[in-house]
Amino acid sequence: MKRTRLLGALFAGAITATSAYAQDTYEIWHYYAAGSELAGMEALIANGNEAVDEANFKGVIIPGNVVELRRQLQTAFLGGQPPAAYQSSMAFELKAFVDGGRLHPLTEVWSEINGDEIFPDGVQRVVKIDGVPYGVPYDLSLINNVFYNVEIFEELGLEAPTDWESFLATCSALSDAGYQPLGNAGGPFWSLYNFYAPLVSVLGVDGYYQLASGEIGFDSPEFAEALDLYRDTMVSCYADNWSGKTWTQTADDVVNGDTGMFMMGIWVAAYFEQADFLAGENFDVFQAPGTVGKSIFQMDALAVPAGSEAAIEAAGKFIAAAASPEGQAAFAVPKGSLAPNVNVDPSVYGYAGSRFAEQFSEAAANDAVLPNLFFLLPTSVGTELGVQIERFAIDPSDAVKAELMSTLETLRQEALAENAFIAW
């Protein structure tokens, strides 16, 4: 139970409460403002308050996304009033603040939680800078699953594809029966996430990391082959007018029986469930061809700004609680995501979550847990990659392909000259 510190007589309650707040309450900044995301963060903070007697933690929502939170952090650093901890993306997002001397290394808390044992190698790579942990993961989503409408598959006698040949056969069967084979959505991320399956099919795990570190060129035969595979498989199967839809609209197309399959992050499972479109009954999942036995993920971590000793100590205790199986489950279950800690019991999830947890565990055992390439590349390169892949998905012509490769290779050369790549 939390201890209350009385700093004055009982009749001075208002003053006492104010002083106690200033001493003992520490802010956790995040941008999860609504729905299951907010529910997950509130549960995570409640877990921290239950686990830590010496301090109280308060969530502070920074409206927007990681860009706006980054901007607010920069202002807070200048004013000398950063939060005790905050929601951070991985890899280059962490590195930018580390390079600026803004973050406190989490070596002690990492050792306390046995971070090298509870988090897979692929996860560790993107929260460590020069081997030092600066973030502790709490929110992970897989992005290499294809969701499908069970009723449509049963009607047509289809089974989940296991390779590109069966994937294309499934698309043809769906199209012949009057269904849109594969959903997609507009924006610089969704086509890029779809592209990772052909990319890994060609490059493999090692090649994926070599592309991320700038060792493989965007004008290479391997990258060209991955683009061709993407065009000949996924792009050829995309639903009509996909680029004008949001991911939720495409998810609705699956629910309504208009579209057979949809490759999207695992958050779409929670969206389906909210629509009473149930996992294992109305929809199911399979790993995209080329990624069977692998997990491609994106992730959030808790980072601690350099600041007062008291805030750093309190943040460390909060993070230790957040990294525990109880803390990880407290966030993941209401959020509809996956716990990065491999020791979380899969039974805490429903049908879909258990499937994802099994995939993640298998990939971890095979050293095949791959971070989202977007965050591994220098920011300018990753951003342009997303733009160019969507452009190619809309117009998969040889001319666009050539322009894509030339544009990205120019950026790669510039980044190499600036020594901007990192071998994560």
Q: Are 135 and 222 in contact (CB under 8 A)?
A: no
Tell me the percentage of the chain whose pLDDT exceeds 90. 91
Q: Quick one: average pLDDT of 306-331?
A: 97
SS (H, E, C) 3-29: CCCCCCCHHHHHHHHHHHHHHHEEEEE
pLDDT bracket for residue 188 (50, 70, 90): confident
Statement: residue 350 has pLDDT above 50: yes
Characterize the bridge pairing of strands 283-287 and 295-303: unpaired
Phi-psi region of 347 (alpha: psi -120 to 50; beta: other; left: phi over 0): alpha
Sequence-separated (6 or more) residues with CB below 8 Å from residue 78: none
Domains and CATH numbers, the chain: 10-137+304-335 (3.40.190.10), 145-296+371-417 (3.40.190.10)
pTM: 0.89
Q: What is the pLDDT of residues 283-294, one digit of tens each?
A: 999 999 999 999
What's the rounded Cα separation, in Å, for the pair 208 and 211? 5
Residue position matching structure tokens 């001493």: 23
Query: For the chain, how many residues are written?
Result: 424
What's the rounded Cα separation, in Å, for the pair 183 and 274? 19
Please name the residue ranges forming H helices in 266-376: 267-274, 309-323, 325-335, 351-365, 373-376
Phi-psi region of 48 (alpha: psi -120 to 50; beta: other; left: phi over 0): alpha
**Neighbour count for residue 420 (Cβ, 10 Å):** 17
Characterize the bridge pairing of strands 369-371 and 85-88: unpaired
**Neighbour count for residue 79 (Cβ, 10 Å):** 8
pLDDT bracket for residue 122 (50, 70, 90): very high
Map residue 41 onto helix, strand or coil: helix
pLDDT for res 5: 37
Q: Which long-range contacts (CB under 8 A, 24 or more apart) does 398-403 make?
A: 401/224, 401/227, 401/231
Q: Quick one: average pLDDT of 340-359?
A: 94
Q: What is the pLDDT of residues 372-402, one digit of tens each?
A: 999 999 999 999 999 999 999 999 999 999 9
Give the orientation angle of helix 325-335 with respect to helix 35-51, to 10 degrees. 160
pLDDT for res 3: 39
Q: What is the pLDDT of residues 218-263, one digit of tens each?
A: 999 999 999 999 999 999 999 999 999 999 999 999 999 999 999 9
**Residue of 87, 88, 3, 105 whose CA lies nearest to 41:** 87
Flag the least confident range among 47-51, 89-93, 209-213: 89-93
